[in-house]
Amino acid sequence: MPIEIPDVVIDRLPLYYRLLSRLESEGRGVISSQELGEELGVTPAQIRKDLSYFGRFGKQGRGYSVQRLAEELRLILGLDKRWRVVVVGIGRLGRAISSYPGFEGQGFDIVGRYDANPAVIGTQLDGQEIRDARLLEADLSARPADIGIVAVPAEYAQQVVDTLTRGGVKAVLNYTPARVQVPPDTELKHINPVVFLQSMTYHLKLRGRARA
Amino acid sequence: MPIEIPDVVIDRLPLYYRLLSRLESEGRGVISSQELGEELGVTPAQIRKDLSYFGRFGKQGRGYSVQRLAEELRLILGLDKRWRVVVVGIGRLGRAISSYPGFEGQGFDIVGRYDANPAVIGTQLDGQEIRDARLLEADLSARPADIGIVAVPAEYAQQVVDTLTRGGVKAVLNYTPARVQVPPDTELKHINPVVFLQSMTYHLKLRGRARA
């Protein structure tokens, strides 16, 4: 039976991968957990512990093979395959997200963009027609997608998520501030800028106290 | 000397706060670590451990006082004060972010919006004039800000971050895919959708394997 790997570890793997992938393109052969830690703001002990969940990558005192570790992380994270992504809600945020230049090179193909606004439906974005959100479920049954990105107004978030999961989508990235529910077999992540700001103000406040 | 609290714990506090704040507004008096855990997808043991860093909030077998815990988290996270935020880069993404409805109610005031595009400079957004990015540093010396949100094209990210930190900003939320450096006394968070998608594809891939 595979060991249960904590979500915080999984969440760090893309950061490891990103750094290793850059080092690989720069031609680096080996990297120590010390240097990985410095680059990523994590302790070397944490790095060794995180990577130990996935087998023995490093040699004691020799560091990690950049190429081998990057390749393993590609497999672990499923980056060796292509993932079909639909974006629902093509307002300012949805447009910005679905034109994000980093998706394609990482195996994420945006295969559909949907909106409910008649003024937006039928218009083109990056050479793709924006489709009527009412067609989403039928489209998904005809051509399944793996991931749904939700950038609709908060009050429609749950309804869109339900449509996505009924249509077989197994991973939802929710950009709305709404809390949404997904079935137990579906992955869910939220991107809420307030949450990021609040974990920074914790530190700012601590320092303010120290100054006072 | 205060105990060093792990960043992963700090990062979970806004999620605790958000849930407790909702429960508080619904009039809930007490909540168990079990229920907090279910709502947040964290084990009850983890919740008790996280909160134990900040003192004794719960009574054995009685659960946590929602109001007291929410109030403590407000203080811990610095949400009892107002934070001045500038947004640099008012393209699609910057517009979406800086019009995000969740900031104000949480103590974040957007006090300046900046762009380098002459067609955008001087136009209004939410009743505020978009200012020339070249004025950012002078503006910050006249009226300091706490937090900078960066939504410029990746190639300008470091330059904007340098201007922000020279201007006294101590927390940077980087929406660009660029890796940027900040001085040691400055907080830095990245919001990169690829990183969120990759930690979900890890799970999708695992399941794919299980099905095979």
Q: Find chain A residues with C-beta within 8 A of B171's C-beta.
A: 197, 200-201, 203-204
Task: Give residue for tokens 């974006």.
Answer: A87
Quote the pLDDT of residue B164.
Answer: 98
Q: Is B183 exposed, middle or buried (0-12, 13-18, 19+ CB in 10 A)?
A: exposed
ipTM, two decimals, is 0.83
Long-range contacts made by residues A184-192, C-beta under 8 angstroms, separation at least 24?
Answer: A185/B207, A187/B200, A187/B203, A187/B204, A189/B196, A189/B199, A189/B200, A191/B191, A191/B193, A191/B196, A192/B102
Architecture per CATH, domain B7-76, reads as Orthogonal Bundle (1.10)
Q: E strand or H helix at B137, and its extent?
A: helix B136-142
* Amino acid B79: pLDDT: 87
Q: Which of A24-33, B37-46, B64-73, B148-157 has the lowest mean pLDDT?
A: B37-46
Q: How many CB atoms lie within 10 A of CB A208?
A: 14
A contacts of B201 (beta carbons < 8 Å):
77-79, 83, 107, 146-147, 171
CB B55 within 8 A of CB B3: no
Tell me what pLDDT residue A182 has: 95
Closest residue to A83, CB basis, from B8, B185, B201: B201
The answer to whether B200 contacts A189, with C-beta atoms less than 8 Å apart, is: yes
Instruction: Look at B102 and A177 and tell me if their CB atoms are within 8 Å.
Output: yes
CB contact under 8 A, A202 and B10: yes
Q: Cα-Cα-Cα-Cα dihedral of B163, B165, B166, B169, to 10°?
A: 110
- Give residue-wise pLDDT tens across range B94-137: 999 988 877 877 889 999 999 999 999 999 998 999 999 999 99
Domains B7-76 and B83-194 share a fold: no
Q: Which residues contact A36 (CB under 8 A, 6 or more apart)?
A: A16, A19, A42, A44, A47, A64
- When pLDDT is averaged across residues A41-65 and rounded to a whole number, the result is 80
Please, are residues B151 and B88 in contact by the beta-carbon 8 Å criterion?
Answer: yes
Strands B108-115 and B128-132: parallel
| Residues sharing a CB contact under 8 Å with residue A130, sequence separation 6 or more, in sequence order | A90, A113, A114, A115, A120, A121, A122, A123, A124
Query: What are the backbone dihedrals phi and psi of residue A134, each rounded to the nearest 5 degrees, phi first?
Result: -70, -15
Q: Which of A93, A36, A40, A30 is nearest to A64 (CA)?
A: A30
Confidence of residue A149 (pLDDT cuts 50, 70, 90): very high
Cβ atoms A157, A178 nearer than 8 A: yes
* Domain edges within chain A: 7-76, 83-194
- Decide yes or no: CATH 3.40.50.620 for domain A83-194: no
- What pLDDT shows up at residue B2? 55
Residue B59 has pLDDT above 70, yes or no: no
CA distance A171 to chain B (A): 6
Say whether pLDDT at A74 is over 60: yes
| A173, A195, A203 ranked by CB distance to B193: nearest | A173
What's the mean pLDDT in A132-145? 97
pLDDT of residue A55: 73
Please state at what angle helix A33-40 crosses helix A44-52, rounded to 10 degrees.
Answer: 110
Closest-CA residue of chain A to B202:
A77
pLDDT at B177: 85
